[in-house]
Structure 1
C-alpha cells in the first residue's frame, strides 16, 4: 500500500467513526432531523430485535421520536468498533461495514421523581452499512441486535416493548 492510500484509509476510518458517534448522539439527544441526515436517501434501520420496527430512516426516526419519549435520559456507549472497507463498482473504499457493541443506559421519565426514576439498560451489537456519497459517508443500513436488557422489577416489560 502506498502512503497516500494508507492516509486516505486512515482519514476514512476517522470519518466513519465520527458518523457512528453522530448517530449515537442524535438518538441520545432526540435530534431526529440530524438522525435522518446521517442516512442515504434509501437508508434503512432495523430495531426489531429490541422490540422496535424496521423501515426507511424517516419512518424509523418518527417511531424513535415517539417511543423514546418514555425516557428522560439516554446514553449510547458504542465500543469495539470493527471497520471493514469494501468495493463498489471496482473502487476500493466506497462502502464500509462496521460492527460495534453497545451498552445503552436510559432513565425512565417519571413526573416528580427526578433522578430517582428507575434505570433501563440494554446491550448488544450494531451492524452498520455505509456508503461514500457525493455528500460524504452516509448510513445505508443500521441493524440492532439486542443481546440483553435489565429492567427494574417494578416496571412491566410491556412498558418498553
Structure 2
C-alpha cells in the first residue's frame, strides 16, 4: 500500500467510526431527526432480537421514540468495533461492515441513581459511502443479555 492509500483508509475508518458514535448519541439523546439522517434513503434497522421491530429508518425511529420515552436516562456504550471495507464482490471500497459490542444502561422514570434496565449484545452495521459521506444502509441488533428491575445478583460472600 502506498501512504496515500493508507491515509485514505484511516480517514474512512474515522468517518465510519463517527457514524457509529453519532448513531449512539442520536438514540441516547432522542434526536430522531439525526437518527434518520444517518441512514441511506433505503436504510433499514432490525431490533427484533431486543423485542423491537424491523423496518425502514423512519418507522424504526418512530418506534424508538415511543419505546425510549420510558427511559429518561440511557447511555449506549459501543465498543470493540471491527471495521471491514469492501466486503461485497467487485466492491471498490465504498461499503463498510462494522461489528461492535454494546452495553446499554437505562433508567425508568424515578429518583433511583442506578440503572433499572441494562442490556448488552452486538451490532452489525452496514454502511455505504454516498455523496454526503458514509451512511447506514442497515443496522442489526443482536441482544445477548438483559438485566431487568428486581433481578439483582446475590451478594458475594467473603
Task: Assess same fold via TM > 0.5.
Answer: yes
Contact 2:87 2:97 in 1 (8 A): no
Q: How far, CA to CA, are the matches of 2:114 and 2:84 in structure 1? A: 40
- Deviations 1:35-78, CA, capped at 9 Å, x for gaps: 00000000000000000000000000000000111001010000
Out of 91-100 and 31-40, give the one that drifted further: 91-100
Out of 145-154 and 37-46, give the one that drifted further: 145-154
1:115 shift after superposition: 3.5
- Which residue in the other structure is 1:55 paired with? 55
- Which residue in the other structure is 1:71 paired with? 71
- Which residue in the other structure is 2:108 paired with? 108
- Deviations 1:66-103, CA, capped at 9 Å, x for gaps: 01110010100000000000166845320000000000
Provide the alpha-carbon RMSD of the alignment: 1.6
1:122 shift after superposition: 0.1
5+ residue gaps, structure 1, are: 155-161
- Which residue in the other structure is 1:141 paired with? 138
1:19-98 equivalent positions in 2, closer than 5 A = 19-86=19-86, 90-98=90-98
Where has structure 1 moved over 6 Å in runs of 4 or more?
A: none
Quick one: which of 125, 147, 150 aligns to 1:150?
A: 147
1:109 shift after superposition: 1.2
1:32 shift after superposition: 0.1
SS in structure 2 opposite 1:93?
A: coil
Q: Name the one with the larger helix percent.
A: 1
Contact 2:105 2:115 in 1 (8 A): no
5+ residue gaps, structure 2, are: 152-158
1:152 shift after superposition: 1.3
SS in structure 1 opposite 2:52?
A: coil
Aligned positions, number: 151
- Which residue in the other structure is 1:157 paired with? none
TM-score, reference length from structure 1: 0.89
- Which residue in the other structure is 1:99 paired with? 99
